[in-house]
Amino acid sequence: MTEESHFESTSFELPENYEELKKAAHRKSDWQERLNAVNELGQYNHQPIIDLLTHMMNNDPVYAVQDAAYKQLRGLGQDVQQPSKAKPELFKGLTKTLIRIKKSLPKDHSFEDFKVKLQKMRADIYNTYEGEKGEEFDNWLKAKWESYDTK
């Protein structure tokens, strides 16, 4: 779909489910739900939606969500700059958090035990990095797990 045809097919009214989409856009522990919200919101050319998409483009921790918001904004005729993939640590104190989780497990725990506990204790961290790292998530997390000596 070209930008022009995308713009022509957008609605100038807020969607009936705007409040639901707004909540989904802010759901920290589910990057896929945020991505879906961005794609649906991008069908409506309305200032509150443009503001929300701009916020997501500039602030979402997962690049795929930022990029989708950027593309939707461009499709709505907004003059925006593509977000940068280069980011600092997504969660302040990530190393401390991961070490704390590793230390909370029995000494002979497996990587899978660690992964499950991270997902239960810090779904926000797990989900964000899963979205950010994509297929490399398990390798990245395993390297982190292996690098922490908890003697």
pLDDT at 86: 75
DSSP state of 135: G
Q: How far is CA 107 from CA 102, 103, 150, in A?
A: 9, 8, 9
Residue by residue, DSSP assigns 17-77 as: THHHHHHHHT-TT-HHHHHHHHHHHTTB--HHHHHHHHHHHHH-SSHHHHHHHHHHHHHTT
pTM, to two decimals: 0.71
Contact 132, 61 (CB under 8 A): yes
**pLDDT tens readout for residues 26-81:** 888 899 999 999 999 999 999 999 999 999 999 998 999 999 999 999 999 999 99
DSSP state of 134: G
- The amino acid at residue 116 is V
Considering only 11-15, 101-105, 137-141, which range has the smallest mean pLDDT?
A: 11-15
